Amino acid sequence: MPNDESLQGKNSEQIASPLYIFQSRDEYINQLTVTQINSSSEEKNYDDCIHIFIDKKKGDRPNYAFSRLSSWNQTVIRSKINRDAIQFVDRFWWLQTAWQERLKKGSLREQFVVGVNGDELDIYNFGKVLSDKEKTLFQSIIGRVASYDPTVFQNGLWIGLHDDEMGNSKEDEPITVAVSYTKKSFLEINQAGIRDGAVDIARLHEGIGDFPVLQLVLPHELGHFVAVLGKDLSQSPLFRFKDPWIAATGWEIENGKWVLKKSKAPSTYALDAPDEDHADSLVYYLYRPNLLDDVRHKYFTARDAKLDPPQVTMERKVGNRIKLPVAPSAKLAYRLM
């Protein structure tokens, strides 16, 4: 198993013993097995590289593949294996260091198992307990998005809420209050930022600045999942030139930056990039369709399932009733050339 200290999660003083049970990053890393493949016959049909294998359901077929290893010394090899193992572990949001610290401190206040169209998503709240008004708003927004695209929740989705500052990568912009990780089926929201109205809604979202911040943030972030699952946009920006959204709205690359050429974005924030345009345009389509230009209105109308909003249920769990996800057991296999 990996034994390099760089693979170990940071230790932190546990403030209180949480009642819920959660998978430990350290324990998960320690149970990873590392196997060296010594010949091409052992490697069978797999490429000559480091592999991460997921057992059981995947039948030990490679889930992850990393770059070739040549005749490096053992220190370099160990460093390479550790780095790639960490990349694999960090695919699971609850095993990431920041969320592990919150779990160890007992910060997880409540879990909501949300039912919609027979599918389920989970909301894990590490911040202030949700009020009845906030829970109702969550239900309303999820139901509205599901009425547009009932498939968006079919593969499951996790939403993590917390009150920690998420930082801001650009100057003269509002602080980040939410991030979507479409490859991880995970959405992170800063509840404190939402409650404090950290985003300048009036400046960034013309015509709907009077909306509750969550009513802009949540459907916007869910819109990123709609874009990927509905194949409006590719997950990789390298392949976006032929995407339906790009073709319909007229985004082009100019001097290394995306520029909107042939249509009108609904908001200032939407001008940032095609994916932000799509997410914001969906918000306007759902709540203020009269403010969209004809191009965007026709685009979303053609893709709208036009279903009645489904009944959305929210079952609250606290303490030892909280059930956190568990990553499957895994093993590394590598071969030196």
Residues 271-316 have pLDDT tens digits of 999 999 999 999 999 999 999 999 999 999 999 999 998 999 999 9
List phi, psi (to 5°) of 315: -95, 120
Check whether residue 212 and residue 162 sit in a common domain: yes
Check whether residue 246 and residue 278 sit in a common domain: yes
Q: For residues 143 and 132, give the distance between their C-alpha atoms in angstroms, rounded to a whole number.
A: 16
Contacts of 117 (CB under 8 A, 6+ apart): 146, 150, 153, 310
How confident is the model at residue 194, as a pLDDT? 78
Check whether residue 92 and residue 178 sit in a common domain: no
Q: Which of 228, 239, 254, 209 is nearest to 262 (CA)?
A: 254
Check whether residue 47 and residue 134 sit in a common domain: no
Check whether residue 265 and residue 302 sit in a common domain: yes
Contacts of 40 (CB under 8 A, 6+ apart): 48
Assign 31 a pLDDT band (cuts: 50, 70, 90). Answer: confident
Top mean-pLDDT range of 20-34, 146-160, 174-188, 321-335: 146-160
The predicted-structure confidence for 189-203, as pLDDT tens digits, reads as follows: 998 877 766 555 555
How confident is the model at residue 220, as a pLDDT? 95
Check whether residue 116 and residue 72 sit in a common domain: no
Average confidence (pLDDT) over 243-269:
92
Written as one letter, the residue type at 263 is S
Domain range for residue 35? 5-102+324-335
How confident is the model at residue 9, as a pLDDT? 34
Q: Which residue has the higher pLDDT, 280 or 18?
A: 280
Q: Domain tally for the chain?
A: 2
Q: Which residue has the higher pLDDT, 62 or 317?
A: 317
Check whether residue 230 and residue 170 sit in a common domain: yes
How confident is the model at residue 141, as a pLDDT? 96
The predicted-structure confidence for 152-182, as pLDDT tens digits, reads as follows: 999 899 999 999 877 654 555 566 789 999 9
pTM metric for this prediction: 0.83
Check whether residue 211 and residue 148 sit in a common domain: yes
Per-residue 3-state assignment (H helix, E strand, C coil) for 172-230: CCCCCCEEEEHHHCEEEEEHHHHHCCCCCHHHHCCCCCCCCHHHHHHHHHHHHHHHHHC
Check whether residue 73 and residue 162 sit in a common domain: no
Check whether residue 65 and residue 165 sit in a common domain: no
Check whether residue 87 and residue 144 sit in a common domain: no
Q: What is the mean pLDDT of the chain?
A: 81
Assign 44 a pLDDT band (cuts: 50, 70, 90). Answer: low
Check whether residue 12 and residue 80 sit in a common domain: yes
Assign 52 a pLDDT band (cuts: 50, 70, 90). Answer: very low
